[in-house]
């Protein structure tokens, strides 16, 4: 048990296991992996008086599982009652309104339909309705044809029923991670990018240091949020784990010319394998189609490849939902990998074999939705209650982060005033998404060091031309602002160089 004694204004906690804590606020927490889980957990930890280090092997945050998924904030009817997924999904969904306002990222509560073509599929909708009600999902109802087509007139006219979930929504997953990290940095986070965890130093059943390919970091608490590689990290630590394999989903993104074709997330009736191939709007006005669901062997954790067969499957299944989809307006195709496990459920636990180690792994769908609730649970329940570390809350924690201003979305008079203050606010660099030079400079000021770093923060290169017209201009801005040679700038990884020298002087 803990016993307290006073030393100045802070209590000293002594005598947990074989480890003595001099002061609670001297603790060091290391979070491994800066996806949406690691980023939100790191932010949650910065609410307390301890040193927080977030280690990410990529050159930026939110580039693993986080950046390539359906971007849906699920309502919570799909998760079996009693599962860990069900424990966190509806609760996480309810947290997004406040979180998006605090961190200033886009979140739209669009609602969702699960559609049925016949009475047999209707039975599954009724099952989902009952399951959702058990999970505490509000507002679920089954609609018939007239109501469905008054809300979504472009759906297949053969659809007869739909489960309507008004609490479902959409966001940009990478911006959840980026904005959480930016806010955490304001509150004292130490962010370590481009370093891969290789092992640990342990003593008396506890991790003392985290070893990367470049440095060593002292640690009193370690939280494993390494996505597809979380099982490997747990093995290194000697902690419990579940085996992970990648489940690949292929996607097609359609142009903003189709904006409004659907207003909600449209699911087919789910199968035992997946929630199905969806049609949904993106927060910036495009239409996203996918994903497929293909289980891959463990050794393909780093190979998110698209295939002719997979993309054809996306086209075939989504046309069944929305027959008027225009595939001449494809902007890009891509795939994402998510961590799947034999139990098909989250594995979020304090280790029994390593005293100061927490696993946040097997975070398959609805991981994005559950992440805010999981972050709160890890810090309040697993660290403070199970590890018996009653952390001291900061009095000066600032929960607010201001996003990069999108000048083209401002009223024209306000935009003119911004241009008068700084002419760069009027210089369009990306014409597809109307991104100005000032926005790109601001992204670099906030930590973008690569083309993808700029892309994910500003949406430059995300439009119809996919960087065909603006990439060279962005390279020049990066070169100028970072005071480096263009040949040193990368697309995203250390090996993804763009230019390797000048053709002529």
CATH number of the domain that residue 420 is part of: 1.10.10.1100
Helix (H) or strand (E) holding 320: helix 308-321
Helix (H) or strand (E) holding 249: strand 245-254
Please report the pLDDT score of residue 385 as a whole number: 96
Q: Within 13 Å, how many C-alpha atoms sit on residue 420's CB side?
A: 6
Whether residues 184 and 217 fall in one domain: yes
From residue 181, alpha-carbon distances to 93, 176, 386, 389 in Å are 20, 9, 26, 23
Return the CATH number at 117.
3.30.9.10
Whether 87 maps to a domain, the answer reads no
Please report the pLDDT score of residue 11 as a whole number: 35
Helix (H) or strand (E) holding 279: strand 278-281
Q: For residue 356, count CB atoms less than 10 angstroms from its CB and return exposed for 0-12, middle for 13-18, buried for 19 or more.
A: buried
Whether residues 324 and 348 fall in one domain: no
Tokens read off for 373? 């609730």
Please report the pLDDT score of residue 53 as a whole number: 98
- State the catalytic residue, choosing from 74, 127, 229, 245: 74
Decide if 219 contacts 92 (C-beta within 8 A).
Answer: no
Tokens read off for 207? 């991790």
Whether residues 207 and 304 fall in one domain: no
To the query of whether residue 74 is one of the catalytic residues in this protein, the response is yes
Whether residues 481 and 426 fall in one domain: yes
Whether residues 282 and 147 fall in one domain: yes
Whether residues 350 and 471 fall in one domain: no
Whether 356 maps to a domain, the answer reads yes
Whether 131 maps to a domain, the answer reads yes
Return the CATH number at 58.
3.50.50.60
Whether residues 418 and 454 fall in one domain: yes
Q: Any idea which residue has 């993106």 for tokens?
A: 282
Whether residues 24 and 53 fall in one domain: yes
The partner residues of 391 in beta bridges, in order of sequence, read: none
Whether residues 255 and 163 fall in one domain: yes
Whether 74 maps to a domain, the answer reads no
> Which parts of 378-422 fold into alpha helices (H)?
412-421
Q: Which domain holds residue 358?
A: 3-65+174-244+344-386
Please report the pLDDT score of residue 23 as a whole number: 44
Of 51, 50, 52, 49, nearest to 41 by C-alpha is 52
Residues 6 or more apart whose CB falls under 8 angstroms from that of 73 comprise: 92, 93, 96, 107, 109, 168, 169, 170, 171, 368, 369
- How many domains in the chain? 3
Please report the pLDDT score of residue 6 as a whole number: 32
From residue 188, alpha-carbon distances to 121, 183, 397 in Å are 51, 9, 9
Whether 270 maps to a domain, the answer reads yes
Whether residues 420 and 475 fall in one domain: yes
Please report the pLDDT score of residue 501 as a whole number: 79
- Torsion angle (degrees, nearest 10) of CA 361, 367, 372, 374: -40
Whether residues 111 and 157 fall in one domain: yes
Decide if 262 contacts 279 (C-beta within 8 A).
Answer: yes
Whether 157 maps to a domain, the answer reads yes
Residues 6 or more apart whose CB falls under 8 angstroms from that of 53 comprise: 28, 29, 30, 31, 189, 190, 192, 217, 219
Per-residue pLDDT of the chain (505 residues; tens, 9 = 90+): 223 333 233 333 333 333 444 444 489 999 999 999 999 999 999 999 999 999 999 999 999 999 999 999 999 999 999 999 999 999 999 999 999 999 999 999 999 999 999 999 999 999 999 999 999 999 999 999 999 999 999 999 999 999 999 999 999 999 999 999 999 999 999 999 999 999 999 999 999 999 999 999 999 999 999 999 999 999 999 999 999 999 999 999 999 999 999 999 999 999 777 789 999 999 999 999 999 999 999 999 999 999 999 999 999 999 999 999 999 999 999 999 999 999 999 999 999 999 999 999 999 999 999 999 999 999 999 999 999 998 999 999 999 999 999 999 999 999 999 999 999 999 999 999 999 999 999 999 999 999 999 999 999 999 999 999 999 999 999 999 999 999 999 999 999 999 987 788 7
How many H helices and E strands in the chain?
12, 25
Whether residues 318 and 434 fall in one domain: no
- From 291, 306, 333, give the residue that closes a domain: 333
Whether 503 maps to a domain, the answer reads no
Whether 36 maps to a domain, the answer reads yes
Q: Any idea which residue has 């924690």 for tokens?
A: 397
């Amino acid at each position: 048990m803990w016993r307290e004694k006073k030393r100045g204004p802070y209590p000293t906690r002594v005598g947990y296991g074989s480890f003595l804590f001099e002061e609670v606020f001297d603790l060091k927490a290391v979070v491994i992996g800066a996806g949406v889980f690691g980023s939100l957990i790191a932010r949650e930890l910065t609410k307390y008086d301890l040193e927080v280090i977030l280690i990410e092997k990529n050159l930026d945050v939110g580039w693993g599982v986080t950046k390539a998924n359906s971007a849906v904030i699920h309502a919570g009817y799909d998760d079996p009652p009693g599962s860990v997924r069900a424990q966190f999904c509806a609760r996480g969904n309810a947290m997004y309104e406040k979180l998006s306002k605090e961190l200033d990222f886009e979140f739209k509560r669009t609602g969702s339909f699960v559609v049925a073509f016949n009475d047999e599929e209707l039975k599954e909708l009724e099952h989902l309705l009952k399951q959702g009600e058990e999970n505490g999902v509000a507002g679920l109802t089954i609609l018939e044809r007239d109501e469905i087509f008054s809300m979504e007139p472009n759906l297949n006219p053969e659809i007869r029923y739909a489960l309507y979930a008004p609490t479902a929504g959409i966001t940009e997953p990478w911006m959840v991670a980026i904005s959480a990290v930016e806010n955490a940095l304001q509150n004292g986070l130490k962010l370590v990018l481009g370093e891969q965890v290789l092992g640990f130093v342990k003593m008396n059943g506890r991790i003392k240091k985290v070893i990367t390919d470049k440095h060593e970091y002292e640690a009193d608490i370690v939280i494993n949020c390494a996505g597809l590689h979380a099982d490997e990290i747990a093995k290194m630590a000697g902690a419990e784990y579940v085996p992970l394999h990648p489940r690949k989903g292929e996607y097609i993104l359609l142009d903003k010319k189709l904006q409004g074709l659907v207003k909600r997330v449209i699911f087919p009736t789910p199968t035992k394998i997946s929630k199905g191939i969806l049609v949904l709007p993106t927060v910036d006005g495009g239409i996203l189609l996918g994903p497929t669901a293909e289980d891959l062997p463990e050794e393909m954790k780093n190979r998110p490849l698209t295939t002719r067969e997979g993309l054809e499957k996306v086209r075939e299944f989504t046309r069944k939902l929305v027959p008027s989809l225009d595939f001449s307006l494809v902007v890009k195709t891509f795939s994402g990998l998510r961590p799947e496990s034999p139990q098909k459920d989250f594995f979020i636990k304090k280790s029994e074999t390593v005293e100061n180690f927490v696993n946040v792994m097997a975070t398959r769908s609805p991981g994005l939705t559950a992440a805010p609730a999981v972050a709160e649970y890890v810090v309040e329940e697993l660290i403070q209650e199970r590890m018996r570390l009653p952390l001291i809350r900061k009095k000066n924690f600032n929960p607010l982060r201001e996003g990069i201003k999108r000048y083209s979305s401002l009223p024209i008079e306000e935009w003119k005033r911004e241009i008068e203050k700084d002419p760069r606010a009027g210089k369009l660099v990306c014409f597809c998404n109307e991104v100005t030079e000032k926005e790109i400079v601001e992204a670099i000021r906030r930590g973008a060091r690569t083309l993808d770093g700029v892309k994910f923060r500003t949406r430059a290169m995300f439009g119809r031309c996919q960087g065909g017209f603006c990439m060279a201009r962005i390279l020049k801005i990066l070169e100028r602002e970072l005071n480096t040679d263009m040949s040193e700038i990368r697309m995203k990884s250390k090996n993804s160089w763009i230019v390797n020298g000048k053709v002529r002087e």
